[in-house]
Chains A and B, each alone.
Chain A
Amino acid sequence: MKTTYTISIFTDDRVGMLHRVTSCFTRRKVNIESLTTSVSEVEGIHRYTILVEMELESEVKKLANALEKQVEVHKVFYHTEDDIVYQEIALYKVPTEAIVQGDAEHIMRAHHARILTVEPTFTVFEKTGHRAETQALFEALEPYGILEFVRSGRVAIMKPTRRLSEYMEELALAAAN
């Protein structure tokens, strides 16, 4: 049975880093289910949130170790769903005409979705939530004819409350050894 793990990787921000990070996955033939990169709360430190589905925690740990071994990777964490708070965002483009004729208002309210824009030919809805929730809205809108759909990678906050900056201070101390 595969488990979903969210891997959070903190690295220097520089050209080619993504390649180094993904090469650790490629080598082990681990598929990346989703990937988000952004800045973190620490200046100059980039954060990758990568979702994988793997069977053995021991293998996830080896992958995390291999990532952490990269010179410009500061810290790597991996978590199961219980240990994080997470979201994805999805956008849906649907023909305006179909929406106007149908029960769009009701669907939006039922799914806690938002309308981002209404154009004469199309309307864009936005929904933030877990995979199952954004998927449910997809299915509700499908009868109206979805013109375009996109879902972001996961963004996740770790529940343990230590600050990244504390880890980094520890690391800097260890690096000076």
Chain B
Amino acid sequence: MDTLIEAAQQTQQTVQKKTRMSGAEAMVRCLIEEGVDLMFGYPGGAIMPVYDELYKFQNQLEHILVRHEEGATHAAQGYARASGKVGVCIATSGPGATNLVTGIADAMIDSTPMVCITGQVPKHLLGTDAFQEVDVISVTIPVTKWSYQITEASEIPSVMAKAFYVARSGRPGPVVIDITKNAQFEELDFEYEKCHKISSYVARPAIEMEQVEAAADLINSAKRPYILFGQGVILAEAEAELKELVEKAGIPAAWTIMGLSAMPTNHPLNVGMLGMHGNYGPNVMTNECDVLIAIGMRFDDRVTGNLAKYAKQAKVIHFEIDPSEIDKNVPTELAVLGDCKEALQAILPLIKENSHVEWLNRFRECDKEEYEKVIKGETNPRDGELRMGEVIRELNDLTDGDAIVVTDVGQHQMIACRYAHFNKTRSNITSGGLGTMGFCLPAAIGAKMGAPDRTVVAVIGDGGFQMTIEELGVILQSGVNVKILILNNSFLGMVRQWQQLFFDKRYASTEMVNPDFQLIAQAYSIACKRVEERSDLAASLKEMLEHDGSFLLEVVVGKENNVFPMVPSGAGVAEIRLE
């Protein structure tokens, strides 16, 4: 009892200038100073002093106990992506730290702000193969934006301030802070000052007006301008500016899956999805436009297909915050370096009102063809097995595009990105760059915690669900409300699709014998249902959404359905196949 009262008293103390305290307490106070009120983690020997402080500060800083450290990273990512704040996770040394690596790599390639704290053996044992010693700094160098090993308590405030600044500024990314156990025990005089700049690091290159003016000229004189936008728009909170540009200049705009939801689905100039399984028009028209305006996207190979056949006819304008992305994959005519909100604000007054009706109609003609050959059958099949597309269509009808949709990786991901409707930004959360199976369930938990007022639907394949299935334990323990929608095709569907199309149907290790997901849900006290009939689908989805609390809905879909259209790997975007 006493300790609880003490703990409560302690949490009420405000941080005074230069207070003497342990390194462990300082770590927690740094997090509080940075506005962190929720973090994800898993304890162990080398991080126990910090956990002891988390116990004392639990009124101010909630810690969610995941069931595997990878889950902590994806939950922190989901939290960050839904809320716009820095995701924080914490783990012990050795295996705890190495279990974070996948999520760190995912956050790196998808530019997600994240700070990962790992415990480390005491300084005097570094390099001795001590129990649970792994050189986590070296292991994570290629997948972190920045990292630092703290070995003395006095380093804590300045290093933590820098960690948060680096994670969230410029092009965001993951930071690893490894802290030796001695530094957690040692005392320091604590004083916190936020970091606002680092002399060697340009977070936001200043907008060059010359480039902006040249870009405006190109856009104004274009006959067939075409905008491609990515997550940069969301990260810069430039959704309104993007919309204004699109509307003012009358330019059709397509999105990468990382940019999805930055513009409402039903916007008349939103022409759809780019890339391998994107929409027909957006891919084909890439090779028809005269000016290609890329905003906060990085020409990933899943978007461009074969670069030798990509937009060769077009003059490319690239709005981008990261100088290393310019000319990396696609040569630009013009680059506007800097934060795309600032850049768009600068260019908007120079843009002439315009419309490109004929040009837009060409997208719409493609849409008709795609609808007839692909979309109709996928979203409105009359008979036969259930299809993933119709599940998402039914979901749209019920959510009206207001839900956050979190997806895993595979066919269901492509289908969800293709067909889910969105009205609000930060509503599509998926592992885009790394394609990490197992991302969805923990990311959905994190997303719900980051946006508690919103409905969060986790759309998962039967394969990916089993990669981080243990995180159902978080739902059980925390009571977080996540709607889990398993699209069960009893296959590693996307790999099976490739085997069918490119490996003569040799289904090597892709068929899944699955457990009874209903029993699993029940074991975690999660309401559940299994749907096999079309006639039950809508009502079951409704039940899932209306249920007060988490719900697992398993929909049995066709085993050997494919996702189309498809740009086969090695082909150009215009070689997209509709069937």
Cβ A175 vs Cβ B141 within 8 A: no
Q: A15: nearest residue on chain B (CB-CB)?
A: B149
Q: How many residues of A contact B (CB 8 A)?
A: 27
What's the Cα separation between A72 and B323 when bound, in Å?
16
Contact of B324 among A20, A62, A176 (CB under 8 A): A62
What's the Cα separation between A35 and B403 when bound, in Å?
53
Q: Is A19's CB within 8 Å of the partner chain B?
A: yes
Asked if A23 meets B141 with Cβ closer than 8 Å, knowing A171-B202, A174-B205, the reply is: yes
Complex interface: chain B residues within 8 A of A62 (CB): 324, 327-328
Cβ A71 vs Cβ B146 within 8 A: yes
Q: Is B542's CB within 8 Å of the partner chain A?
A: no
Most chain B CB inside 10 Å of its own CB: which residue of A19, A61, A69: A69
Q: Is A65's CB within 8 Å of the partner chain B?
A: yes
Which residues in chain A, 124-177, are within 8 Å of chain B measured between CB atoms? 168, 171-172, 174-177
Q: Is A27's CB within 8 Å of the partner chain B?
A: yes
Cβ B327 vs Cβ A58 within 8 A: yes
Cβ B199 vs Cβ A175 within 8 A: yes
Cβ A69 vs Cβ B199 within 8 A: no
User: Nearest chain A CB to B111's CB is how many angstroms away?
Assistant: 12
Contact of B206 among A58, A73, A174 (CB under 8 A): A174
Complex interface: chain B residues within 8 A of A120 (CB): none
Most chain B CB inside 10 Å of its own CB: which residue of A23, A65, A171: A65
Cβ B327 vs Cβ A69 within 8 A: no
Give chain A's interface residues, CB within 8 Å of chain B.
11-12, 15-16, 19-20, 23, 26-27, 58, 61-62, 65-66, 68-69, 71-74, 168, 171-172, 174-177
Complex interface: chain B residues within 8 A of A73 (CB): 200
Most chain A CB inside 10 Å of its own CB: which residue of B138, B141, B322: B141
Most chain A CB inside 10 Å of its own CB: which residue of B201, B203, B205, B206: B201
Cβ B166 vs Cβ A175 within 8 A: no
Complex interface: chain B residues within 8 A of A69 (CB): 322-324
Q: B326: nearest residue on chain A (CB-CB)?
A: A65
Which residues in chain B, 517-555, are within 8 Å of chain A measured between CB atoms? none
Can you list the 4 inter-chain pairs with the closest CB atoms, starting with the nearest? A65-B324, A74-B200, A174-B202, A71-B146
Contact of A175 among B137, B145, B146, B200 (CB under 8 A): B200
Cβ B197 vs Cβ A175 within 8 A: yes
Contact of A71 among B138, B145, B323 (CB under 8 A): B145
Cβ B138 vs Cβ A68 within 8 A: no
**18 A-B residue contacts at CB 8 Å?**
A15-B149, A16-B147, A19-B138, A23-B142, A62-B328, A65-B326, A66-B324, A69-B322, A71-B145, A71-B146, A71-B166, A172-B199, A174-B205, A174-B206, A175-B203, A177-B202, A177-B203, A177-B205
Contact of B200 among A26, A61, A171 (CB under 8 A): A171
What's the Cα separation between A34 and B327 when bound, in Å?
28
User: Nearest chain B CB to A13's CB is how many angstroms away?
Assistant: 11
Contact of A12 among B149, B166, B200, B327 (CB under 8 A): B200
Complex interface: chain A residues within 8 A of B328 (CB): 62, 65
User: Nearest chain A CB to B342's CB is how many angstroms away?
Assistant: 10
Complex interface: chain A residues within 8 A of B322 (CB): 69
Cβ B137 vs Cβ A16 within 8 A: yes
Q: B322: nearest residue on chain A (CB-CB)?
A: A69
Known: A19-B141, A71-B166. 12 other contacts (CB 8 A): A16-B149, A26-B142, A62-B324, A65-B326, A68-B323, A69-B323, A71-B200, A74-B199, A172-B199, A174-B202, A175-B197, A177-B205
